[in-house]
Amino acid sequence: MVKFDIPDIKKNLPMAMTMAAFSGIAWYICVELNLRLFYLFKRRKGLYFWSCALCSWGIFFHALFIILADFQAIKDPRVSVPLIYVSWWFMIVFQSLVMYSRLHLVVTSRTVLRSVLYMIIFTTVVISIPSLVTGPMSQQPTPAGRALAPFYIEWNRIENATWTAQETIISVLYIYYTQKHLRDTHLLSELSSSSSAGGKQMMLHLILTNILIIILEIPLLAIQYVGLFYLGGSFKPLVYGVKLRIEFSILNRLVAMTKARGGAFSGLGSTSTGTGNKSWVDRALERGESHNASSVEGISRSRTDETPNPETRDFLDPATGTRLNYGR
């Protein structure tokens, strides 16, 4: 948002401490997530991996540049403001691509996937690029900047609502297709009582995390619309950091749910083939349209041609991403 008549942050200690706390949490999430990414992914390529990495870097540097600009460590707005907007662009656009690449695991309809991709391309070109150009210009201490500022204030509100709507749509699609998939395969009815409870818990976790992603947008929008300049600037990287960490957790749960050989979830969306049962994650890995296939394959340590040991079950710990072996 354009900065008008904003008091010096150095004279507002509570706000400065709040900004420091929000930025510190965002930085911690980004560092921790990068360590997990580069440790777990054996093949460091694919849409999911690079979207996640670039989004985390955008979050890290966006929070950093805001701190440097607001506390006047970088005094020239011709330097600080463009840096803020470029890092903002990486944070916003690649967050949507992370959500899109993860959507491949539950949606098999090419029409739906392409529609989501076209929506992301549209908002990137029509919404984010004009913001990337007019935003820095409107905050320059020049006559042209002051003339452009009123337009950008209104455009910024449209932009915030657009990104919120887009991410909400993707989350709702994920919730719908997750429920549809589990219902169509009759997973919960086919499992034993103990396994059924585990299946319900897994499904509930996946759905609630997506609902949380939607809910996180509400305070962010409220802060930005009421004009809390400093609070909004530091709160946005925190929200996007939390959402990105949730996205990573969701992927781990998906992989854990389908890679537990011989366990309760081995039949999730499986179809009988000549080479045995294949889960829907396996099929997503094999689909040529899924750009993130190699990334998911890296994190799940995909199966080899060897016959699995019938005496063991393999699970991927959703908290640490490590493979655990449990004997029968």
The verdict on residue 298 lying in a domain is no
In a domain, 170, yes or no: yes
What gap in Å lies between CA 311 and CA 327, rounded to an integer? Answer: 6
Q: Domain with 126 in it: what CATH number?
A: 1.20.1070
Residue 303 is predicted with a pLDDT of 37
Per-residue DSSP letter, 7: P
Give the chain's domain count.
Answer: 1
pTM of the model: 0.73
User: Which residues sit opposite 257 in a β-bridge?
Assistant: none
- The residue range of the domain holding 251 is 9-259
Confirm whether 290 is domain-assigned: no
Please tell me the distance from the alpha carbon of residue 255 to that of residue 219, in angstroms, as a whole number.
31
Please count the helices (runs of H) and the strands (runs of E) in the chain. Answer: 11, 4
**In-domain check, residue 269:** no
Greatest CA separation found in the chain?
75
Task: Identify the DSSP state of 327.
Answer: E
Distance between CA atoms of residues 261 and 276, nearest Å: 12
So what's the pLDDT on residue 220?
Answer: 85
Residue 283 in domain: no
Within a domain: residue 46?
yes
In a structure prediction context, what are the per-residue pLDDT tens digits for the chain, which is 328 residues long?
Answer: 444 445 677 778 888 899 999 999 999 999 999 999 888 888 888 888 999 999 999 999 999 999 999 888 888 888 999 999 999 999 999 999 999 988 887 888 899 999 999 999 999 999 999 999 998 998 888 888 888 888 988 898 899 899 999 999 998 998 888 777 767 655 545 544 445 555 667 777 777 888 888 888 888 888 878 878 788 888 999 999 999 998 888 777 766 665 553 343 333 333 333 344 444 444 444 443 344 434 344 433 433 344 444 333 344 443 444 444 433 3
